């Protein structure tokens, strides 16, 4: 029997009075799967994750209709801390590790909502997944490379032993080999029992890792289906894989665009979260 761990039903979200960021979005995330959310800039991907994690109000957004259930419990009116306690983990956009704190302190911060008796086991599991972090526990997180910081952000979220892990564009601004490594880590996390909702602009990586995917366009769900089938679909090829996804030229172009978006996001974060 397929158990639905996360269920989004007819979800609409807006920012302020005028920006309708999501409109009537519905889909389900079955237990033990990886579901990818694809979409171009401004499609509503981050908004979707904020709605699920209860953090919309931090961005002056609100759910105007619809429901979200996590493992059978309605969570769309809960505060973020209560949602985390129900074992929903989130790796935020731009990683947001605590740069002045050590790697170990970052991990411990991720385990604060975890039952005290479970914390040591959670930490062992994270260090087993990321041996490189184990070698650098006492170093300030700000000294890690971009890829290592992404691993730390994932490790920090895994300290909560989440049933469902939300990942917001883990590939953003990283080199192709690191993106491949992150894809493998996501698969490994899933094989160890965590259900994953993966928001990505890097459609090739996301569709390689995911079982199923949904595509958002200007706040609406436009496509959904099996990840392998979507990879072959002409619409996806044209819109997200450029029809020549494997070419180096396309990879370079994607990399350049990603870098621009990292910069844009850094600037916009300052405005929106102030
Ligand atoms: N805090 C905010 N205040 C006002 N509008 C916002 C806010 N956050 C997002 N938006 C708007 O909501 C829409 C969806 O944005 P969202 O960030 O969810 O898209 P996205 O798919 O994650 O895109 P990107 O990958 O570029 O971040 C866009 O029109 C965006 O401009």
Report mean pLDDT in 10-residue bins for the chain, 274 residues: 94 95 98 95 94 94 97 95 93 86 94 87 94 94 93 95 95 91 96 96 92 95 93 81 50 59 53 30
Nearest atom of ligand 1 to the alpha carbon of 168: 22
Question: Measured from the CA of 44, which atom of ligand 1 is nearest?
Answer: 18
CB atoms within 10 A of CB 260: 11
Q: How far is the CA of 46 from the centre of ligand 1 (A)?
A: 7
At 159, list the tokens.
Answer: 């300290």
- Of all protein residues, whose CA lies closest to atom 31 belonging to ligand 1? 42
Q: Provide the pairing of β-strand 212-217 with 34-38.
A: parallel
Q: Write down the pLDDT at residue 271.
A: 35
For position 26, what pLDDT does the model report? 98
Q: Residue for token digits 């619809």? A: 66
Q: What is the pLDDT of residue 82?
A: 93
SS (H, E, C) 174-225: CCHHHHHHHHHHHHHHHHCCCEEEEECCCHHHHHHHCCEEEEEECCEEEEEE
CA atoms within 13 A on the CB side of 259: 8
Out of 11, 13, 44, 197, mutate this one to test ligand 1's pocket (max ligand atoms within 8 Å of CB): namely 44
Q: Is the CB of 60 under 6 A from ligand 1?
A: yes
pLDDT of residue 253: 59
Which ligand 1 atom is the nearest neighbour of the CA of 201?
25
Domain spans in the chain, listed from the N-terminal domain onward: 96-161
Query: How far apart (Å, rounded) are the C-alpha atoms in residues 38 and 48?
Result: 11
Q: Is 15 in the pocket of ligand 1 (CB under 6 A)?
A: yes
Whole-angstrom distance, CA of residue 56 vs CA of residue 19: 13
Please name the residue that has the structure tokens 């639905």: 4
197 ligand 1 Cβ < 6 A: no
What is the rounded distance in angstroms from the CA atom of residue 236 to the CA atom of residue 204? 10
- Ligand 1 center to 14 CA (angstroms): 10
As given in the structure block, the two tokens for residue 238 are: 């044209």
> What ipTM was estimated for this complex?
0.97
Is the CB–ligand 1 distance for residue 46 below 6 Å? yes
Q: Residue 1's pLDDT is what? A: 80
Q: State the Cα–Cα distance between residues 205 and 184, nearest whole angstrom.
A: 10
Please tell me the predicted confidence (pLDDT) of residue 240: 76
Residue 185: which of 212, 211, 147, 142 has the closest Cα? Answer: 147
Provide the pLDDT for residue 254: 55
- For ligand 1, atom 12, the nearest C-alpha belongs to 21
Half-sphere exposure of 27 (CA within 13 A, CB side): 20
The finding on whether 18 has its CB within 6 A of some atom of ligand 1 is no
Residue nearest to atom 11 of ligand 1 (CA): 21
């Amino acid at each position: 029997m397929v158990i639905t761990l996360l269920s989004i039903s007819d979800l609409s979200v807006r920012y302020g009075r005028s920006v309708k960021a999501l409109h009537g979005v519905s889909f389900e995330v079955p237990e033990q799967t990886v579901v990818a959310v694809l979409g171009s800039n401004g499609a509503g991907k981050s908004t979707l994750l904020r709605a699920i994690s209860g953090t919309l109000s931090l961005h002056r957004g609100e759910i105007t209709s619809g429901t979200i259930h996590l493992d059978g419990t309605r969570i769309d009116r809960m505060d973020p801390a209560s949602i985390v306690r129900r074992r929903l983990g989130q790796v935020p956009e731009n990683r947001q590790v605590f740069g002045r704190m050590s790697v170990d302190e970052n991990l411990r911060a991720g385990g604060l909502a975890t039952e005290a008796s479970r914390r040591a086991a959670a930490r062992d599991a994270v260090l087993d997944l990321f041996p490189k972090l184990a070698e650098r526990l006492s170093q300030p997180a700000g000294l890690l490379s971009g890829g290592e910081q992404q691993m730390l952000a994932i490790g920090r979220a895994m300290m909560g032993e989440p049933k469902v892990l939300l990942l917001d564009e883990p590939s953003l601004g990283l080199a192709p080999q690191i993106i491949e490594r992150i894809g493998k880590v996501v698969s490994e996390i899933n094989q160890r029992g965590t259900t994953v909702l993966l928001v990505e602009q890097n459609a090739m990586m996301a569709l390689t890792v995911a079982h199923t995917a949904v595509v958002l366009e200007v706040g609406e769900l436009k496509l959904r289906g099996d990840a392998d089938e979507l990879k072959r679909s002409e619409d996806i090829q044209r819109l997200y894989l450029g029809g020549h996804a494997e070419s180096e030229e396309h990879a370079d172009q994607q990399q350049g665009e990603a870098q621009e978006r990292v910069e844009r996001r850094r600037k916009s974060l300052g405005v929106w979260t102030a």
